[in-house]
Amino acid sequence: MDARKQRTLAFDAANLPPDAETVDRLAKLQLAARRLGIELVLSDPSRALCELISFAGLADVLRVEVKRETEQREERGRVEEERELDDPSR
């Protein structure tokens, strides 16, 4: 690599189909980007696509950034009632 500074490009992968053709195209895109000094990062790919990338042995080549969903929180001031389950033997 020459003296050019490495740049990162986020690629929205949320709606990509999880198939071999997609993985192949992403690998080729990553290769072309690296030749230009750009690191491609897949943003929010599906779990199935991540598993396929891993299965293909490209997990170290195709960087993945998964967006984490915020946890659902209870309404403020709301109290949930605690109780014991009914005894099924009765």
Name the residue among 67, 27, 31, 28 with its Cα closest to residue 47: 67
Q: How far is CA 63 from CA 27, 32, 60, 83, in A?
A: 10, 15, 7, 47
Query: Which pLDDT score, from 0 to 100, does residue 68 have?
Result: 56
Query: Which pLDDT score, from 0 to 100, does residue 10 have?
Result: 93
How high is the mean pLDDT of the chain? 81
Query: Which pLDDT score, from 0 to 100, does residue 65 have?
Result: 84
Residues 14-45: pLDDT tens digits? 999 999 999 999 999 999 999 999 999 999 99
Query: Which pLDDT score, from 0 to 100, does residue 87 have?
Result: 61
Distance of CA 34 to the CA centre of its chain: 20
- pLDDT at residue 86 tops 70: no
pTM of the predicted structure, to 2 decimals = 0.66
- pLDDT at residue 88 tops 90: no
